[in-house]
Structure 1
Amino acid sequence: MVFGTDLQPTTAIRGNLQFTRSGLVTATYFMQPLSYGFRSASDKFEVKSAHHALVNNLPVGSLLLGIQSRLDTLDTLGKMVEGIDLSTCADYADEVVAAYGRIRAIESRTRLFLLTIPVGSTNTGLNTMTRTLRGSTTFDATTLTRADLDKYDNTASEVLSRIGGEFDPVPVPAAFFQWLWEHYLSRGAGNDPSAPTRPGALDDATAAVFRSAVLDEGARTDSTRRLRPSFAPVLKVVQEDPEAPPSYQTLLTPRSFPYAGMHFPGGSEFLSVLEGLEDVTVDWAIRITTTPADTVLKNNELSLRRLGEQMDQRDQEISFAQSSLMSKAHMLGEYNQHFEVHPGESEVSFTTVLAIGSPTRDITLDAVNTLKRRYKRYQIEMTAPVGAQTDLWSLLIPGSTHRRAYDDFAHIIPSDMWAGFVPFTTHQIGDDSGPVIGVNLMSGHFEPIHFGIMEAALHDLSASFAVTGELGSGKSFFLKLIAALVHDMGGQFLAIDRSHVGEWAHFATAIDDAIVIDLTEPTISLDPLRMFDSAVAGEHTMDSLLPLLDVSATSGIGTAASTLLTPRGLNEHHIKCLLDLVLVARTLATDSDTADDYRELAQRLSSLIDRVPVLFDRTLPPLRLDAAATVVRTHRLALPTAEELTTPHLYQRLPLTKRLGTALYELVGVAARTAFLSDNGRFGLLVGDEAHHFTQTHVGAAVTSDFSRDGRKHLAAIALASHDPASDFQGAAHNLIPTRFVFRQRDEVLARNSLEWLGVDLNSTPYLLQILREETSPPTGTGRQVLEARRGEMFMRDALNRIGRGKVLGPARIDRARAISSTPTTNLAGRSSSGAFP
């Protein structure tokens, strides 16, 4: 058995600099993983190129680490409340408190990516590798000077400069080395520390106290019989603290890779196999040694000469050896040609170790067998070498002394092939902060998905988003979830409710200071001349009035209307409302040079007075948008289809009822734009479930564009939903709305349109079409109902264009969850906002 601290090489720590007993000095950095997920093949080749530059510029003995750990619940909650004044947002404070238990129950995990590079030696009289092999312990940390530290920092900076800034390396704090050691000792056990991702999680210590432990190879202490270590490739780590549970660990390493190579992308990312294992923690480490191309060519010439000598010695021999030598010579020729054609290449000798840990021996061995089966699909043979478990365990320790096992299980390939492993990648989606809307299903870690809709403007990003999916897939549920969160965080929203059962009106009952409006039984007025300032009221009226009257702006009637609706015309004729406009037009029809135009204008307007009281009844108070929530019911309005809006001859034949519905729909959007796109210090969200009415009409497209372009400047956003993004999400809705969600689509055409709109390359990932159609919240059983555990599954593209899969969770508060998920059973059409307006 090995005493734990004997494997800990550290003698002193200064910031991210580690000084070891062998005299080696290393620098360790957090590495920012690159987005991978469902990116296009061209994007993945860019990720590979970044790894190519990384490995080509790493010094000999560099160590790459991927450390899996529990996500700190307090870290998640801290991100949820970032930028929110909880003293004024009591509802959101209740949501965060309720989310605490749910987040803990999910047991989310994360993976930290680290790079350790050697930056020098504490004794220039001896070669660093020689000191490492001798295990010298003569270093005295008290002799360090500021000049020494600067020298090591400068060396590290030179290496990082050659690597480039794609991985955004950040020096680890001094206390991280102690955290890492404690993680290794308790890997997968109950006392495994959570990831130090929260600011201040680790102190700024300059020294570390490393706990001692016993590494029992073979777990012999578990049995009364004395078993040879070779019978059990398990490492039992027992800490000196009797309260600390033991950790059972197994170290795996590749015995062989596919003879024919590994295809990139899709076949070489072998470290992605590690994610998604339950009840175990899996870390990985890769120790790197690179050789420049010119040295490789010289070594190849020497190897070829030796092969030639062996072939000359056996030229008269009839055996398989001759053909084997010929095969080796052929492979060596191809290998040599690769470096001749690519002089900037390097040869990479790397040793990969996977560390699997859990609370019990059986769980660990089951996970080991699972991983071996998974790697069989990649044609990679994994082995857990007996007798070498302790040596491989030490490979994951930064600054560890070189051991024979590192060479025994090393593999050699060109650097461009090694770059296809793309170890520093992530499937993370969502924002850095904001409310938790769901969990990540793609990474295997179930990390919370943050959606900082109200914080996007601070990062110069658009907060607008769009949703697509079939009926019953969860679009409306998701829109209501975001609207509720916006309200709870101190914002306001306006939603257009097209449902006949009034689901948004029902949801509004759970919100204080909510207004519900029915446009067909109005208690308020949408008269644009009364809603808007006189400077813009005429312009907004023209935009809605001319399509409603089916006249051109250059026609006689259009000219007559535009003359009256200029600021001068409104003031001269004392026009304060649309009814005044009708009366003035009637007057001018009798004593004007253009009497015929005014007469026709008056006739057309008069035909609408009784039909549309929401526009012409001046006894109704005008719409105001300072309420916390406003729901406008439009279920009784006749609205044109997307085809009627986009086909010219169908649009010309639109009946008056549909033109009226479109005009009122647009007026609501224009009113929200006027109210929300102003610097009132309050976030405003406009929700439209019928996207084509905002994206395929002149006024609606302008509203969408304004929210998408200028919303970040005024703390505002638009949320659109549609069944078919190919026809509805055009223009600004396609180009300027970065955050997109796709829920279940079982129709093949609509599913294909949705994934292409999301940004997925279906030519390289055709299997995603089946996942969306059949494996995203699938209805099952005789009743074809979606199981509770499968509801809310979706694809997401976040503000950084990262694409992944997730599951929407809904509100943590029970009352909010009931209000959002429940469907009203009675018709709320008669509900009005009586008393809600002055």
Structure 2
Amino acid sequence: MLQPITAVGGNLRWTRSGTVWADFILTGIEYGYRPAEDKSTARSMHKMLMRALDGEALLLGICASLNPEAVVARMEEGIDLDAHPQWAAECDATIETLEMFQPGKRIYWLSIPLANKGWKNQAAAAWSAARTTLTDYLGLPRTSLDPVEVARRTTQANMIAADIPAYFRPTPATPAQMVWLHQHSLQRGLGLDSDVPLPYASIGTKPMAAFTAARFDEGAQSDRPSSGWKSKAPTLTKALKIDQPWTLEERPANYQCLLALADTPSGNTVFPGSEFLALADAIAGVDVDWGIRLHIRSSAEVSKKNKRALINLNEQFSQREGEVSHGHGVLHAAAEDLAEYAAKMDADNMEVEVQSTTIFAIGAHTEEVALRDARQLAKLFELSSYKLVSPLGFQEDLWHALNPGVSTPSIVKEFAQITTSTDFSAYVPCVHNDLGDSSGPLLALNISSARIGVVHHDVAKKSAADISGSFAAVGALGSGKSVLLKGIGGAFHDRGGKIVVIDHTEVGEYARWAATIAEAVIADLSHPKWSLDPLRIFGPDKGAEVATSVLLPLLQLQPDELLGVLLGTVLEPAYRGEHGLLDGGLGDILDHLRSDECTLVQRIELADKLGVYARKSYAAALFEKGLPALDITAQAIVFRTHTVKLPSQQEIVQEHLFRQLGLEKRVGRAMYALIGLIARGICFANPSEPAMFLADECHRMTRAEEGVDIVIDFLREGRKEQAYIGLGSQDPDEGLGNETLRGLIPTRFAMRQTDATLARRSLAFVGLDPRDPDMFKELTEQTSPVSGKDPDTGAEYVEPHRRGEGYMRDAYGNIGRIKVLMPSEPNRAHATQTTPDKGPEELIDA
């Protein structure tokens, strides 16, 4: 078969038949784990898409490999790699990671033959086809495209694009993308595709030589023996062999198997439940392209056709009158089907008839693999009551049917399914499960289907879109929460951000990690080497505000009672300046209250209250005068709180229990409030310097009202100041404060849960139905499943390839399954995944 395309310009292609086709790339609508109302919207958009078309069209769903270098380019976008060498190293190492997983995506392509209305246009199209045939026969050069014709056809194409629902964001295909599609069709399954050209990468035209010539071998006849009886026996191979004899470099032959949808489940269309095209993404490691040849007819055309059919039925009834046979039953059934179909068409004046033929294409290096994968696909469809067939001798015809610019082969009509736009829309062919941002750090793989995608997560980029970059992760112990938090925090730091972390672990997990990625300042409250005194950390005014906020609840004072007023007085910058205390801290304030220089009423009583705590070792970081002030200019700061005692939820809620709190728990609560205030002060200090506060097992902070308020400040106001918070918790209800706090978290993660109650809470947290038994089972049994015990440690063991699985609800409301990736750079990966070999003392000295 000759190359049907004779010229391309913009998103238009001229063909030998005289027909001009317009090509568009559509964006799929978010679907997957979306709620029912969003899925109904997706269906409505598909119904509107069908009604926007008239006559023939070709809709394609093409598997495109993601070029690792293109993914890395998105990771590098907007970052000066010379200024951030650690990020450059991570990006370089990521290429090898991506080559191991081979992620991909599905591209939706809509190609429409433009109508030739009026006898003049029809004659011009016929003359164009005849002229092309004659010039090729005589070996004459083809004439260039007529600018007037190009302008007229471009206007037609633009009018079609304007009618397509905006949800699909129709983008005119470029000549470079057309060439890419042609080349992809010649080498399906060989892994030789380049990255899909960008929409702006090529405009204008392409020479016809860019569309590589190919040789089609129906049944792979050239692979048969050249002699013997097998060379003469007929072949029953349902495969198409394609090679490219004109290329200088040797390319392997491609074996493809084309299948057509021959039957669908009986009965009415069910929605959700009829999305059969999703099965094309259900076989791991197998790329399945699909195409739908469409023919759309208006209700008026269908009404005329139905009237003719009704007349024929009446004639058959008359001819069989008085006949005793089952033929009347057949006629009655046909009449009922016709009446039902007519009723559907008459019920909506905008309804159209959709005649569709669905074709699937699988390619491989060998005939055996192609046929094996085709049988696997057919079996998968059979389990859902769909029937796929592979017509012997028509593989090449079906292949051409999947290419824009080709007139519909006759075999296509043999498999046509006729329905309405309402019923066809239940198939929702153009959908996706994309997650995350268009660029930024590579956080995870998208495993919502067997077709693996990538998830970019750019915390700072969201601020430009007026969305908070803060996030929260919930999951059981060992489910991967800390790896997730450290992965996001590490990428944020390597791209120029500052991080502040609370490390509650006995082994100093976060301290070890932070010390590996930066020159971290580690403030250990059990062995303080840095002072957390706010008067010494912040300026006079800010320091006084923070100190007041911490000391009033610690001393159980009200701000308007005498001692509360006295405390506020001695902390005021004016008073401290008057008494030479501006360069001092709380220890100096305590000494001043005890000295005769202070003449304030009840100073001794206030000093005694402060002295109760100042003498305790667990409060040394707050009152010890000999410690250097915490360096808040450091790019990484870690607060080690593993020895801090905190009140329980009951002790906070029950007033009598709260009054009986021991000193250590009172100090612990005050220290967590102080750390939160210090973190807020650091992160909100400079809007031009992005900063992130990480708090794993965040119930330690959100158990108290002051902690909840600090977290809400980050969520509500952080976007404007480029200040972000990352939270981790085993229980979303307990750890993430209240409904207001949870509602303000835009990006959410749910990792493995085995407890039934916590699993349902986690599902609800990411926007999934906690009552759905399939979702519940998937989270508790099929998400990073435990396969036994580690023989060395005795801890629960998860196979390496299943670690990091969970759910993500991104900042845009999309929900899907992910597999969190470790950093690709070896040193970063080691620090992220392991607990330290050093003891706490060695960490402090590091």
Normalised TM-score (structure 1)? 0.92
Residue matched to 1:106: 101
Answer yes or no: is the 8 Å Cα contact 1:31–1:168 preserved in 2.
yes
- Offset of 1:495 from its aligned partner? 1.1
Provide the C-alpha distance between the structure 1 equivalents of 2:134 and 2:542, rounded to a whole number of angstroms: 78
Structure 1 residue 72 corresponds to structure 2 residue 80: no
For the residue of structure 2 that corresponds to 1:823, the secondary structure is: coil
Structure 1 residue 760 corresponds to structure 2 residue 768: yes
1:431-450 residue pairs with structure 2 within 5 A?
431-450=437-456
- Offset of 1:535 from its aligned partner? 2.5
Structure 1 residue 82 corresponds to structure 2 residue 77: yes
The verdict on how the C-alpha distance between 1:279 and 1:42 changes in structure 2, with shifts beyond 3 A counting, is closer
Answer yes or no: is the 8 Å Cα contact 1:23–1:123 preserved in 2.
no
Provide the C-alpha distance between the structure 1 equivalents of 2:348 and 2:200, rounded to a whole number of angstroms: 46
Q: Tell me the amino acid that sits aligned with residue 95 of structure 1.
A: E
Residue matched to 1:147: 148
The verdict on how the C-alpha distance between 1:319 and 1:137 changes in structure 2, with shifts beyond 3 A counting, is farther
Residue matched to 1:346: 352
Provide the C-alpha distance between the structure 2 equivalents of 1:644 and 1:118, rounded to a whole number of angstroms: 73
Answer yes or no: is the 8 Å Cα contact 1:515–1:833 preserved in 2.
no
1:455-470 residue pairs with structure 2 within 5 A?
455-470=461-476
Answer yes or no: is the 8 Å Cα contact 1:91–1:488 preserved in 2.
yes
Q: Tell me the amino acid that sits aligned with residue 820 of structure 2.
A: V
Provide the C-alpha distance between the structure 2 equivalents of 1:89 and 1:801, rounded to a whole number of angstroms: 31
Aligned partner (choices 294, 298, 318) of residue 300 of structure 2: 294
The verdict on how the C-alpha distance between 1:690 and 1:546 changes in structure 2, with shifts beyond 3 A counting, is farther
- The one-character-per-residue Cα deviations of 1:777-803 (angstroms, maximum 9, x if unpaired) are 111135441111111112111122211
For the residue of structure 2 that corresponds to 1:317, the secondary structure is: coil
- Offset of 1:249 from its aligned partner? 0.7
Residue matched to 1:156: 157
Aligned partner (choices 112, 120, 126) of residue 125 of structure 1: 120
- The one-character-per-residue Cα deviations of 1:19-41 (angstroms, maximum 9, x if unpaired) are 11111112111111111121111
Answer yes or no: is the 8 Å Cα contact 1:708–1:732 preserved in 2.
no
Aligned partner (choices 804, 808, 820) of residue 808 of structure 1: 820
The verdict on how the C-alpha distance between 1:155 and 1:198 changes in structure 2, with shifts beyond 3 A counting, is closer
Residue matched to 1:251: 258
Aligned partner (choices 689, 698, 702) of residue 696 of structure 2: 689
Answer yes or no: is the 8 Å Cα contact 2:445–2:819 preserved in 1.
yes
Structure 1 residue 268 corresponds to structure 2 residue 269: no
Answer yes or no: is the 8 Å Cα contact 1:189–1:247 preserved in 2.
yes
- Offset of 1:485 from its aligned partner? 1.8
Answer yes or no: is the 8 Å Cα contact 2:508–2:843 preserved in 1.
no
Aligned partner (choices 731, 736, 739) of residue 744 of structure 2: 736
1:329-340 residue pairs with structure 2 within 5 A?
329-340=335-346
Provide the C-alpha distance between the structure 1 equivalents of 2:693 and 2:655, rounded to a whole number of angstroms: 28
Answer yes or no: is the 8 Å Cα contact 2:281–2:287 preserved in 1.
no
The verdict on how the C-alpha distance between 1:797 and 1:201 changes in structure 2, with shifts beyond 3 A counting, is same
1:151-550 residue pairs with structure 2 within 5 A?
151-190=152-191, 192-197=192-197, 205-209=205-209, 210-224=211-225, 225-226=230-231, 231-240=236-245, 241=247, 243-265=250-272, 267-278=273-284, 280-550=286-556
Normalised TM-score (structure 2)? 0.91
The verdict on how the C-alpha distance between 1:589 and 1:119 changes in structure 2, with shifts beyond 3 A counting, is farther
Provide the C-alpha distance between the structure 2 equivalents of 1:51 and 1:402, rounded to a whole number of angstroms: 23
Answer yes or no: is the 8 Å Cα contact 1:23–1:136 preserved in 2.
no
Q: Tell me the amino acid that sits aligned with residue 673 of structure 1.
A: R
Provide the C-alpha distance between the structure 1 equivalents of 2:432 and 2:153, rounded to a whole number of angstroms: 30
Q: Tell me the amino acid that sits aligned with residue 639 of structure 1.
A: L
Provide the C-alpha distance between the structure 2 equivalents of 1:626 and 1:204, rounded to a whole number of angstroms: 53
Structure 1 residue 91 corresponds to structure 2 residue 86: yes
1:645-684 residue pairs with structure 2 within 5 A?
645=652, 650-679=657-686, 681-684=688-691
For the residue of structure 2 that corresponds to 1:166, the secondary structure is: helix
- Offset of 1:551 from its aligned partner? 2.8
Which shifted more, 43-52 or 192-201? 192-201
Structure 1 residue 39 corresponds to structure 2 residue 34: yes
Q: Tell me the amino acid that sits aligned with residue 815 of structure 1.
A: N
For the residue of structure 2 that corresponds to 1:781, the secondary structure is: strand
Provide the C-alpha distance between the structure 2 equivalents of 1:599 and 1:682, rounded to a whole number of angstroms: 44
Provide the C-alpha distance between the structure 2 equivalents of 1:643 and 1:374, rounded to a whole number of angstroms: 54
Answer yes or no: is the 8 Å Cα contact 2:174–2:199 preserved in 1.
no
Provide the C-alpha distance between the structure 2 equivalents of 1:358 and 1:284, rounded to a whole number of angstroms: 15
Q: Tell me the amino acid that sits aligned with residue 699 of structure 2.
A: H
Answer yes or no: is the 8 Å Cα contact 1:234–1:248 preserved in 2.
yes
Provide the C-alpha distance between the structure 2 equivalents of 1:199 and 1:85, rounded to a whole number of angstroms: 25
Provide the C-alpha distance between the structure 2 equivalents of 1:649 and 1:41, rounded to a whole number of angstroms: 48
- Offset of 1:676 from its aligned partner? 1.7
Provide the C-alpha distance between the structure 2 equivalents of 1:356 and 1:539, rounded to a whole number of angstroms: 68
The verdict on how the C-alpha distance between 1:727 and 1:135 changes in structure 2, with shifts beyond 3 A counting, is farther
For the residue of structure 1 that corresponds to 2:357, the secondary structure is: strand
Provide the C-alpha distance between the structure 1 equivalents of 2:219 and 2:742, rounded to a whole number of angstroms: 59
Residue matched to 1:48: 43
For the residue of structure 1 that corresponds to 2:323, the secondary structure is: coil
Which shifted more, 128-137 or 692-701? 128-137
Residue matched to 1:13: 8
Provide the C-alpha distance between the structure 1 equivalents of 2:89 and 2:733, rounded to a whole number of angstroms: 39
Provide the C-alpha distance between the structure 2 equivalents of 1:306 and 1:43, rounded to a whole number of angstroms: 43
Residue matched to 1:58: 53
Structure 1 residue 617 corresponds to structure 2 residue 624: yes
Q: Tell me the amino acid that sits aligned with residue 152 of structure 2.
A: K
Answer yes or no: is the 8 Å Cα contact 1:72–1:197 preserved in 2.
no
Provide the C-alpha distance between the structure 1 equivalents of 2:305 and 2:530, rounded to a whole number of angstroms: 86
- Over the matched positions of the two proteins, sequence identity in percent amounts to 35
The verdict on how the C-alpha distance between 1:533 and 1:279 changes in structure 2, with shifts beyond 3 A counting, is closer
Q: Tell me the amino acid that sits aligned with residue 799 of structure 2.
A: L
- The one-character-per-residue Cα deviations of 1:329-354 (angstroms, maximum 9, x if unpaired) are 22222222222222222111111111
Structure 1 residue 785 corresponds to structure 2 residue 775: no
- The one-character-per-residue Cα deviations of 1:129-178 (angstroms, maximum 9, x if unpaired) are 99599988459974634333232222222222222211111112212222
For the residue of structure 2 that corresponds to 1:231, the secondary structure is: coil
Q: Tell me the amino acid that sits aligned with residue 306 of structure 1.
A: N
For the residue of structure 2 that corresponds to 1:22, the secondary structure is: coil
Residue matched to 2:793: none
Structure 1 residue 603 corresponds to structure 2 residue 611: no
Answer yes or no: is the 8 Å Cα contact 1:473–1:744 preserved in 2.
yes
**Across the two proteins, how many residue pairs are aligned to each other?**
823
For the residue of structure 1 that corresponds to 2:608, the secondary structure is: helix
Gaps of 5+ in 2: 136-141, 791-795
Q: Tell me the amino acid that sits aligned with residue 271 of structure 1.
A: L
For the residue of structure 1 that corresponds to 2:517, the secondary structure is: coil
Answer yes or no: is the 8 Å Cα contact 1:135–1:401 preserved in 2.
no
- The one-character-per-residue Cα deviations of 1:87-126 (angstroms, maximum 9, x if unpaired) are 0111111111222222122222222111112234499536
For the residue of structure 2 that corresponds to 1:61, the secondary structure is: strand
- Offset of 1:725 from its aligned partner? 0.5
The verdict on how the C-alpha distance between 1:572 and 1:345 changes in structure 2, with shifts beyond 3 A counting, is farther
The verdict on how the C-alpha distance between 1:40 and 1:54 changes in structure 2, with shifts beyond 3 A counting, is same
Q: Tell me the amino acid that sits aligned with residue 233 of structure 1.
A: K
Provide the C-alpha distance between the structure 1 equivalents of 2:750 and 2:686, rounded to a whole number of angstroms: 32
Structure 1 residue 750 corresponds to structure 2 residue 758: yes
For the residue of structure 1 that corresponds to 2:527, the secondary structure is: coil
